[in-house]
Amino acid sequence: MSEIEQAEQELIEEFGFFDNWMDRYQYLIELGRRLPEFPADEMTEDNQLQGCQSQVWLVSSAGDGRMHYRATSDAAIVRGLIAVVLRVYDDRPPEDIVAAEPSFIAALGFDQHLSPTRSNGLISMLKSIRSRAAAECAGSTA
């Protein structure tokens, strides 16, 4: 089992403890509160993701054969979604990120229980994370 698959499985098990979506939303908000502080000087237009109703900033870097991501949002539930996505993709090899389909989104029920605007924002985050990993893969083979 890859690191990504393991992180996905852990999240599925964690969210499985909650009987209803109100509890899951509260857990998402709590996960978002636990995100490390995001530097104000990195909340720039260049780091802001498009396609999100909330403001979302994402910074990535690569080192030691792994991708590193930091992100934040001005919305509590979106910060929680960021925390979930970073648990899956942060500090993972770029090849693994590109190869992994984000099936955990449906397994967690996000595809059914998020508003359309939050779903669009989540899709934008995933596309950006995966495209940055793909760019790193392309750069390492050049």
Which position has the higher pLDDT, 53 or 140?
53
Q: Which runs of E-coded beta strand occur in 46-85?
A: 56-63, 66-73
CATH number at residue 55: 3.90.1010.10
Is residue 38, in this structure, part of any structural domain at all? yes
pLDDT in tens, 105-137: 999 999 999 988 888 889 999 999 999 999 999
Is residue 10, in this structure, part of any structural domain at all? yes
Residue 89 burial by Cβ neighbours in a 10 Å radius (0-12, 13-18, 19+): buried
Q: What is the pLDDT of residue 120?
A: 87
Query: For the whole model, what pTM was predicted?
Result: 0.93
Mean pLDDT of 29-42: 96
> Which residues have a catalytic role annotated?
52
Is residue 71, in this structure, part of any structural domain at all? yes
The domain containing residue 117 runs over which residues?
3-137
Q: Report strand pairing: 56-63 vs 66-73.
A: antiparallel
In sequence order, what DSSP letters do the residues of 115-128 get, joined into one string? -HHHHHHHHHHHHH
Is residue 142, in this structure, part of any structural domain at all? no
* Cβ atoms of residues 97 and 4 within 8 Å: yes
* Cβ atoms of residues 21 and 15 within 8 Å: no
pLDDT in tens, 52-86: 778 999 999 999 999 999 999 999 999 999 999 99
In DSSP terms, 48 is beta-bridged to: 57
Whether the predicted pLDDT of 37 surpasses 80: yes
Give the number of residues written for the chain: 142
Mean pLDDT of 12-24: 95
Is residue 129, in this structure, part of any structural domain at all? yes
Q: For the chain, how far is it from start to end, CA to CA, in angstroms?
A: 29
Number of domains making up the chain = 1
Q: What is the pLDDT of residue 55?
A: 92
